[in-house]
Chain A
Amino acid sequence: MGQLATIYKEGITSIVVDLFRTMMTTEVSPVPSERHSSHGQLTALVAFGGNWKGVLEFECGSAEAIQFARRFMQNDEYHEVNDDVRDALGEFANIVAGNLKALMLGKMTLCTPSVIEGSDYSVRICGGSIVGESWFSTEAGSFAIRLIEDIGVREGKN
């Protein structure tokens, strides 16, 4: 396992648990990826630049996104995915990426989040290699986190 994968593996659970516990008063547990087979309907992405290039993904279904946004903003009036729900999901990815970045070596910058919404899609980062993938379960639903390294950029294959 590479150094980055080790950092990811050792840090991601505490970061995610802390995010959900402190800002959503929700407990989170890591679960095996094989418990989930379908692709999420929303994916928030935060890109890393600088000494390490890659992307952090936060992926979940639309029903879970609504539940997470309700808890995050303490507002039960969200019944469908709207700008506020997408914004909240982007902020989750931003917080996880920011905390993970603090554990990684080298000077890096973070981009502002982007959110993809749809059905039956997959996200492919050109030249990307998955450093780590984690699934988590909460009483409001499950979600996935992925850290993807842009190998093409690192090796100058652009």
Chain B
Amino acid sequence: MSILIVDDSKAMRMIVRRALHQAGFHQDLKEAATGAEALEVVESGGIELVLCDWNMPGMNGLELLEKLKSLGRTVKLGFVTSECATDIQMLARQSGALFFITKPFTPDAFLSALEPIIGR
């Protein structure tokens, strides 16, 4: 499965990448620091799952999700974010997000949330 990590924080992208490595993903991991970059990567093809931050400069995560839907992209998307409020989580789910992982998280909790999606 090709996975795109979208987060304006390089540190968080590194942590998510490391957690995925621990789950056995060593290939097909791409990164984007903004929603606009993420759109470009998805448009280039091959991405099956997007792990996305909520608050980012420019286009936020929800706007990225809506943009992907409006473009007809069927890529799976879930949020990895410090936004913990239940109304935000409900909004994400209603918009079609498959999962909502809140920071801070342990690698085990992160992978447990992803397991149903990535099938490991």
Contact = CB atoms under 8 A, between A and B. Distances in A.
A101 B85 contact: yes
B12 interface: yes
A83 to B, nearest CB: 7
B11 A72 contact: yes
A5 B11 CA distance: 31
A110 B81 CA distance: 12
Interface in B31-82: 55-57, 81-82
Given A22-B105, A84-B11, A91-B9, A110 B55 contact: yes
Contacts of A18: 104
A98 interface: yes
Given A97-B82, A110-B83, A112-B56, A87 B103 contact: no
A32 B70 CA distance: 52
Contact of B10 (A23, A87, A95, A102): A87
Contacts of B82: 94-95, 97-99, 110
Interface of A: 18-19, 22-23, 69, 72-75, 83-84, 87-88, 90-91, 94-95, 97-99, 101-102, 107, 109-112
Majority secondary structure, A binding face = helix
A102 B82 CA distance: 10
Interface string B92-118: 000000000011111001000000000
Given A101-B85, A111-B55, A112-B55, 11 more contacts: A22-B106, A69-B11, A73-B14, A75-B14, A87-B11, A88-B9, A91-B11, A94-B82, A95-B104, A101-B84, A102-B84
B85 A102 contact: yes
A33 to B, nearest CB: 24
Contacts of A101: 83-85
Given A23-B105, A72-B15, A95-B103, A87 B83 contact: no
Given A73-B14, A110-B55, A112-B57, A94 B9 contact: yes
A98 B86 CA distance: 12
A36 to B, nearest CB: 24
B12 A91 contact: yes
A98 B15 contact: no
Nearest to A93: B82
A84 B83 contact: no
A38 to B, nearest CB: 26
A86 B38 CA distance: 23
Contacts of B8: 112
A49 to B, nearest CB: 11
